Chain A
Amino acid sequence: DSGVTQTPKHLITATGQRVTLRCSPRSGDLSVYWYQQSLDQGLQFLIQYYNGEERAKGNILERFSAQQFPDLHSELNLSSLELGDSALYFCASSVGSGSLVTQYFGPGTRLTVL
């Protein structure tokens, strides 16, 4: 158990819908990262927040947005969902934001778009 929690574990929804994925980082971790894992794209970095502020952005679609709240939990919002958005979405956290930090991954949310 990494100490990072994600809810829900599974999500099944229809195309065009909007969903929110939630992540609680390990106690004391200020950085939160979101990743998408799919069969064709592999594991892709989406976005990072550090202490409430956006720190880095990866291959995140405009239909997707995220935020980190004052209590440091984070939410990833996915809207206008398409079949291709079906994937495992992981949240990770780390103490700091430098390149030598260890990222601790949550168990993931499996999103299925029908």
Chain B
Amino acid sequence: SQQGEEDPQALSIQEGENATMNCSYKTSINNLQWYRQNSGRGLVHLILIRSNEREKHSGRLRVTLDTSKKSSSLLITASRAADTASYFCATAPTSGYSTLTFGKGTMLLVSP
């Protein structure tokens, strides 16, 4: 069953704009990760945020985590056409295992 629910399901923006995607989850987590998937291809790990962290940056990516609300957001600043992809959040359990539970993803379309 899905743990995370991304919102929105689809997002269409122009190059240069910022894109924000949200993820909500149901159970306690050890960490939350964001992945990108280009159409029909493998997933690429973007960033990991631990449950005791509130914000993390990596290049044009900014991730926030609010464990009290069981939610996370991914912000991509100054979007490029190459950012067009599906973005998934995935949660790792508190058990210490590395198995991930993925949400259904947000499809991002960045138009030139």
Interface residues of A (CB under 8 A from B): 2, 4, 31, 33, 35, 42-45, 48, 55-56, 58-59, 88, 90, 92, 94, 96-108, 110
Contact = CB atoms under 8 A, between A and B. Distances in A.
Interface stretch (B19-27, B40-48, B62-70): B40-48
B80 interface: no
B98 interface: yes
A42 B41 contact: no
Contact residues of A: prevailing secondary structure: strand
Contact of A97 (B40, B42, B97): B97
Nearest to B104: A42
Interface string B96-109: 11111111110000
Interface residues of B, number: 28
B14 interface: no
Interface of B: 1-2, 30-31, 33, 35, 40-45, 48, 50, 88, 92-93, 95-105
Contact of B98 (A31, A43, A44, A88): A31
Contacts, number: 75
Nearest to B35: A105
Given A107-B41, A110-B40, A99 B105 contact: no
25 contacts: A2-B42, A33-B100, A42-B104, A45-B101, A45-B102, A48-B97, A48-B98, A48-B99, A55-B97, A56-B99, A58-B99, A59-B1, A94-B98, A96-B98, A97-B98, A98-B98, A100-B31, A100-B92, A100-B98, A103-B45, A103-B98, A103-B100, A105-B44, A108-B40, A108-B42
Contacts of B96: 98-99
Contact of A99 (B30, B40, B88): B30
Nearest to B92: A99
Given A4-B42, A104-B45, A107-B42, A99 B102 contact: no
A100 B105 CA distance: 21
B97 A42 contact: no
A45 B100 contact: yes
A26 B37 CA distance: 19
Instruction: Enumerate the 4 nearest inter-chain pairs by beta-carbon distance, A residue then B residue, closest first.
Output: A105-B42, A99-B92, A43-B102, A99-B30
